[in-house]
Amino acid sequence: MTSPTNTASGSTHPRIASFLADQIEQFRRQYPDYDEEESEFPLWIEGVDTTYAPFIPTSTRRVLIALEMVGLSSADKVLDVGSGDGRFCFAAVSFFGAQRALGIEYEQDLVEKSTELAQDLVDQGRISFQKADLTNWRDSPTMQSKEWSVIVVFLSPEGGTDMEDWLVQEFERGVRIVALVFDLKHLKSLHCSLEDTEEGIWVYEKQ
């Protein structure tokens, strides 16, 4: 059994260090770290409650570290819940060779933007994005599908609690869950197998 471990040191992420510098630079140009003043997508959208799954794009560094920590491989199919601009899906396929990545997002503008950014991979059928109501997971064929082996979530504590039954359901059937910024420690049925508290990444995997 793997004990939760802080892996914040850059030296503990050798797979990331092996990526060619120009590939990482291309990723950063396409998916720049968040700048609220320059972003066309504000953190808070009038008339929309984004406290459930806030739109705060994670850094390219955190994306790569999180996918390395979960041990992503070509055998995996990834579901990104609240996919924002699609950077996790893009990195999962481009850098880690994931078989497929699907991002679901409440905002149609973000669905369109993420599809545009990942256009080449969309054309290959390896990435797709859907508009979805994350609170209605019980009636969502996508969220109830058994094809996913890795699920990425960036949920507020309220969102994590509201989706507890779904997260536990997926955990129990062997899905690896990656939580960003907000951990899921309040969900007692989940076991944290690996963590990087400095980067704000927690991996939950059934032992």
Per-residue pLDDT tens for 117-135? Answer: 888 787 778 999 999 988 8
> Whole domain around residue 170: which residue ranges?
10-16+54-204
Structural domains in the chain (count): 1
Q: Within a domain: residue 182?
A: yes
Percent of the chain's residues with pLDDT above 90: 49
Cβ 1 vs Cβ 191: under 8 Å: no
φ/ψ (deg, to 5) at 101: -140, 130
Q: Within a domain: residue 28?
A: no
- For residue 149, give the CATH number of its domain: 3.40.50.150
Given this model, what pLDDT does residue 115 score? 93
Given this model, what pLDDT does residue 190 score? 96
Per-residue confidence band for 41, with pLDDT thresholds at 50, 70 and 90: very low
pTM score above 0.85: no
Given this model, what pLDDT does residue 149 score? 99
Q: How many CA atoms lie within 13 A of 108 on its CB side?
A: 0
Is residue 175 pLDDT above 90, yes or no?
A: yes
